[in-house]
Amino acid sequence: NQYTAEINSFQPKNAEELESFRIRFLGTKGIIKDLFEEFKTVSSEDKRVFGKVLNEFKQLAEAKYQTLKEGSETEDSGSKSEQDLTLPGEGFELGARHPLSLVRKEIIEIFKKLGFNVAEGPEVEDDWHNFSALNFPEEHPARDMQDTFFIKKGGEKGDIALRTHTSSVQVRMMEAGKPPFRAIMPGRVYRNEAISARAHCFFHQVEGLYIDENVSFADLKQTLFYFVQELFGEGTKVRFRPSYFPFTEPSAEMDISCSICKGDGCQFCKHSGWVEILGCGMVDPNVLENTNIDSKKYTGYAFGMGIERITNLKYQIKDLRLFSENDIRFLKQFQSEM
Ligand code: PHE
């Protein structure tokens, strides 16, 4: 009859349509129920035929309902576990090099071109390598608890502390080998300072050492001049101011013309047009003798710079704390840099 065709061709679009199908045919007031009511009224000889048709019809409706219901259920749960391969991909988050790593790499590349090797040493140092061999007098203020993180008192080579500069690596190098030496020492150093925009309890240095026969202050100046032209660009000016370090004599601090304001005055150069970027000098003969190098035969120069200071200048970063906070918004800005 008409209903058989309707049932066979029924295709619900959603769960509501399937439910109204159930109510229409199989519900307590549904068509099948009505037909069974009608069945009671037919004559007994018709009952055999009508009953058979009616039962088949009922089974058809129930079977159809059952398969549709099962189909919609597996479809629902299936959509969660099955991937829709036509969806666009999510893409990978690309990392960025840390600005300090970028600048360290750049500094190393420049000195490599001049024939400098790269040397490393321990961050936990003894007094000898960090201070005594470098000609620090016993009562020098840099040894004070204020600057140095001490780890252990006493020991064969004195107190154990976190190195305050990578000059300790220079000592290790001089002790271990024979001149000539030409190397730079990048690394992390520690100083007991209150953390602020301009100071931190750790920072990074690149120090350099060149020892050979007849090395002069002119060699030092030329090397640093070349370095600054490479790093900050052609035309960057340098100036040397007399200074003091226990391990160099004479000693100097080197300023460069401010790469940010080009001399017009800014916060980085404090309106002076110059920014200090490193300390340097001729290796004190006492240091050479301390490490068993003949100070009559050999001379040398040394220099040391803070990577943070140079990175601040290169990228106009005003707060040191940004380097160690791991704020993704800060770090992401270096994504385009190599
Ligand atoms: N070691 C010095 C410092 O940490 C820097 C320096 C290195 C100065 C070599 C002169 C020569 O401040």
| Residue 91: DSSP 8-state | -
Taking 70 as the threshold, does the pLDDT of residue 338 lie above it? no
252-311, pLDDT tens digit by residue? 999 999 988 877 888 888 889 999 999 999 999 999 999 999 999 999 999 999 999 999
| pLDDT for the residue numbered 274 | 93
**Can you tell me which atom of ligand 1 is nearest the CA of 164?**
4
98 alpha carbon – ligand 1 mean position (Å): 24
* 19 φ/ψ angles, rounded to the nearest 5 degrees: -65, -40
Taking 70 as the threshold, does the pLDDT of residue 145 lie above it? no
Over range 99-116, report the average pLDDT. Answer: 97
Contact criterion met (CB below 8 Å) for 320 and 197? yes
- Give SS3 for 151: strand
CA 168, 171, 174: angle at the middle one, nearest 5? 150
Q: Are strands 150-152 and 299-306 parallel, antiparallel or unpaired?
A: unpaired
- Give SS3 for 160: strand
Q: What percent of the chain has pLDDT over 70?
A: 96
| pLDDT for the residue numbered 122 | 97
- Give SS3 for 191: coil
Look up the pTM and report it.
0.74
Q: Give the residue ranges of the annotated binding site for Mg(2+).
A: 249
Average per-residue pLDDT in the chain?
91
DSSP string spanning 104-141?
Answer: HHHHHHHHHHTT-EE----SEEEHHHHTGGGT--TT-G
Over range 306-328, report the average pLDDT. Answer: 94
64-78, pLDDT tens digit by residue? 888 888 877 766 555
245: nearest Cα among 254, 253, 236, 237: 253
Pocket test for ligand 1, best of 173, 184, 207 (most atoms within 8 A of CB): 207
**Can you tell me which atom of ligand 1 is nearest the CA of 189?**
4
| pLDDT for the residue numbered 88 | 86
Taking 80 as the threshold, does the pLDDT of residue 138 lie above it? yes
| pLDDT for the residue numbered 32 | 87
DSSP string spanning 261-328?
Answer: TTTS--TTTTTSSEEEEEEEEEEPHHHHHHTT--TTT-EEEEEEEEHHHHHHHHHT---GGGGGS--H
| pLDDT for the residue numbered 43 | 84
Please give the distance of CA 22 from its chain centroid, rounded to a whole number: 61
271 alpha carbon – ligand 1 mean position (Å): 25
Count of residues for the chain? 338
Q: Which residues line ligand 1 (CB under 6 A)?
A: 165, 167, 207, 245, 248, 279-281, 302-304
Q: What percent of the chain has pLDDT over 90?
A: 60
Pocket test for ligand 1, best of 202, 241, 247 (most atoms within 8 A of CB): 247
317 alpha carbon – ligand 1 mean position (Å): 23
More confident residue, 248 or 36: 248
Instruction: State the Cα–Cα distance between residues 304 and 205, nearest whole angstrom.
Output: 7
Question: Is the preceding peptide bond at 180 cis, omega within 30 degrees of 0?
Answer: yes
| pLDDT for the residue numbered 41 | 86
Taking 60 as the threshold, does the pLDDT of residue 192 lie above it? yes
| pLDDT for the residue numbered 75 | 61
Pocket test for ligand 1, best of 130, 131, 148, 165 (most atoms within 8 A of CB): 165
**Can you tell me which atom of ligand 1 is nearest the CA of 170?**
9
Q: What is the complex's ipTM, to 2 decimals?
A: 0.98
Taking 80 as the threshold, does the pLDDT of residue 83 lie above it? no
Report in angstroms the alpha-carbon separations of 113 from 109, 226, 290.
7, 11, 30
Supply the residue whose CA is at minimum distance from atom 7 of ligand 1: 304
Give the contacts of 115 (CB within 8 A, at least 6 positions apart): 182
- Burial track 228-253 (b if 16+ CB lie within 10 A, e otherwise): bebbbeeebebebeeeebbbbeebbb
Contact criterion met (CB below 8 Å) for 247 and 134? yes
18: nearest Cα among 75, 76, 69: 69
247 alpha carbon – ligand 1 mean position (Å): 8
Give the bridge partners for 118, in sequence order. Answer: 184
142 alpha carbon – ligand 1 mean position (Å): 12
Question: Measured in Å, how far apart are the chain's first and last C-alpha atoms?
Answer: 78
Q: Is residue 4 very low, low, confident or very high in pLDDT (cuts 50, 70, 90)?
A: confident
Report in angstroms the alpha-carbon separations of 67 from 8, 70, 77, 305.
12, 5, 16, 78
- Give SS3 for 236: coil
Over range 179-192, report the average pLDDT. Answer: 97
92 alpha carbon – ligand 1 mean position (Å): 43
Structure tokens at 287: 């240091």
Place of tokens 């750790």: 202
Instruction: State the Cα–Cα distance between residues 76 and 81, nearest whole angstrom.
Output: 10
170 alpha carbon – ligand 1 mean position (Å): 11
Supply the residue whose CA is at minimum distance from atom 9 of ligand 1: 303
Instruction: State the Cα–Cα distance between residues 299 and 288, nearest whole angstrom.
Output: 8
